[in-house]
Amino acid sequence: MGRLFVVNLEGKVYSCKHCGTHLAVSEDILSKAFQCRHGKAYLFNKVVNVTSGKNEDRMMTTGLHTVADIFCVRCGSIVGWKYETAYEKDQKYKEGRSVLERFKISGPEGNNYWINHEARVAGSDADDV
């Protein structure tokens, strides 16, 4: 493996909670209304310093999507997923966009998000139905 080059972002940055690698800026958030197994998640127009896993079809509450898990390039932690294909016409806006799970990232002020075990996450877009 060669030398690792990472992109350093400026502004209000979201980072990997394990290693601090920059992942996205708050200006690229498209939606904070996403849910996953562990609570809230954010849809970003652009993320950096991630690698993608293999594409797979997942049935989500909003329909069938082809997605790929995304991993931090520095530590390898899974941080979310990327929408490759949306099969429902009203979900096409998600294609090429990425979701970061809040409990796997640090916020712009350096705060970590934690799983709310009391939160009900049924109907999550990230979970199979």
Which residue, 82, 35, 77, is CA-closest to 54? 82
- Residue predicted with more confidence, 66 or 126: 66
| Domains, the chain, ordered by start | 13-106 (2.170.150.20)
B/e letters for 91-106, b = 16+ CB within 10 Å, e = fewer, are beebeebbbbbbbbbb
User: How much is the pLDDT for 112?
Assistant: 66
Tell me the per-residue pLDDT of 7-37, one tens digit each, with 9 for 90 and over. Answer: 999 999 999 999 999 999 999 999 999 988 7
CA distance to 42, 78, 98, per residue, from 81 (Å)? 11, 8, 6
Q: For the chain, what percent of residues have pLDDT higher than 70?
A: 83
The rounded mean pLDDT for the chain is 87
Phi, psi dihedral angles at 8 (to 5 degrees) = -100, 125
